A and B are shown apart, each in its own frame.
Chain A
Amino acid sequence: KQEVTQIPAALSVPEGENLVLNCSFTDSAIYNLQWFRQDPGKGLTSLLLIQSSQREQTSGRLNASLDKSSGRSTLYIAASQPGDSATYLCAVRDDKIIFGKGTRLHILP
């Protein structure tokens, strides 16, 4: 049974720092991995989608990597801003989509 773990559960960093969020999964036989952002009381906004054949995807200050063999993905946020404060969720797709519990990120002004 696929399990997705996100570490840390919560993170506070000063504005301007670069940071890394981690996602691990137990079964490497996935088709893709997607990172989402969720603001309080809101739905999920897709940030990056990495297919199983890809190693990374980039969008602006965000870079996501995927290492299927080790069951890991990282989301790198460069030059963090207070507006980046949100919960970040990763989801892996095998026969179903399985979500982690998320990392609550707080950027300190």
Chain B
Amino acid sequence: EAGVAQSPRYKIIEKRQSVAFWCNPISGHATLYWYQQILGQGPKLLIQFQNNGVVDDSQLPKDRFSAERLKGVDSTLKIQPAKLEDSAVYLCASSLTGGRLDGYTFGSGTRLTVV
């Protein structure tokens, strides 16, 4: 079984620029999550999709962050414009149904540095 794929692995941009990250979950997984992990912290949920619908985006800074999962498979997360405090690792995860007994599988993450 292929894992959760993310790209790019690393990205360095200047503040006020735009950036996009891509995630392809495990085949057949209905639920997809984007997490932000700042250095020294645990991951924080940004947005959760169930198929192509948003379940929870309460912690997504919607003035600059956006995400979509148009066909219920892969997903993109965009930041526009980026700020210095957005420097973090952005992790994508998926689970089979999103049910309460499900475990999560994570991708390798994208490390973003905003200078």
With A41-B111, A101-B41 known as contacts, the answer to whether A36 contacts B56 (CB < 8 A) is: no
Contact between B107 and A31 (Cβ–Cβ < 8 Å)? no
Cα distance, A94 to B111, chains bound together (Å) = 28
Within 8 A of A (CB), among B86-115: 89, 91, 93, 100-101, 103-109, 111
Contact between B104 and A46 (Cβ–Cβ < 8 Å)? yes
Chain A residue with the shortest CB-CB distance to B35: A99
- Nearest CB of chain A from residue B49's CB, rounded to whole Å: 14
Contact between B45 and A96 (Cβ–Cβ < 8 Å)? yes
Contact between B45 and A36 (Cβ–Cβ < 8 Å)? no
Cα distance, A89 to B40, chains bound together (Å) = 11
Is A51 engaged at the interface, CB distance under 8 Å to the other chain? Answer: yes
Is A43 engaged at the interface, CB distance under 8 Å to the other chain? Answer: yes
Contact between B91 and A44 (Cβ–Cβ < 8 Å)? yes
Residue in contact with A4 in the complex, picked from B42, B93, B103, B109, CB distance below 8 Å:
B42
Chain A residue with the shortest CB-CB distance to B9: A41
The range of chain B's interface size is: 20 to 34
Chain A residue with the shortest CB-CB distance to B10: A41
Is A32 engaged at the interface, CB distance under 8 Å to the other chain? Answer: yes
Cα distance, A97 to B104, chains bound together (Å) = 10
Residues of A within 8 A of B106 (CB): 36, 43-46
Cα distance, A5 to B4, chains bound together (Å) = 27
Within 8 A of B (CB), among A39-74: 41-46, 49, 51
Cα distance, A4 to B42, chains bound together (Å) = 10
Contacts A36-B106, A99-B42, A100-B42 known; list 17 others, CB within 8 Å.
A31-B100, A34-B103, A34-B104, A41-B89, A41-B109, A41-B111, A43-B109, A44-B91, A45-B106, A49-B103, A51-B101, A89-B43, A93-B100, A96-B56, A98-B42, A99-B43, A101-B40
A interface vs B, CB < 8 Å? 4, 31-32, 34, 36, 41-46, 49, 51, 89, 91, 93, 96-102
Q: What are 23 inter-chain pairs, A to B, with CB distance below 8 A?
A: A31-B100, A32-B101, A32-B103, A34-B103, A34-B104, A36-B106, A41-B109, A42-B109, A43-B109, A44-B43, A44-B91, A44-B93, A44-B106, A45-B106, A51-B101, A89-B43, A91-B42, A91-B104, A97-B33, A98-B42, A99-B42, A99-B43, A101-B40
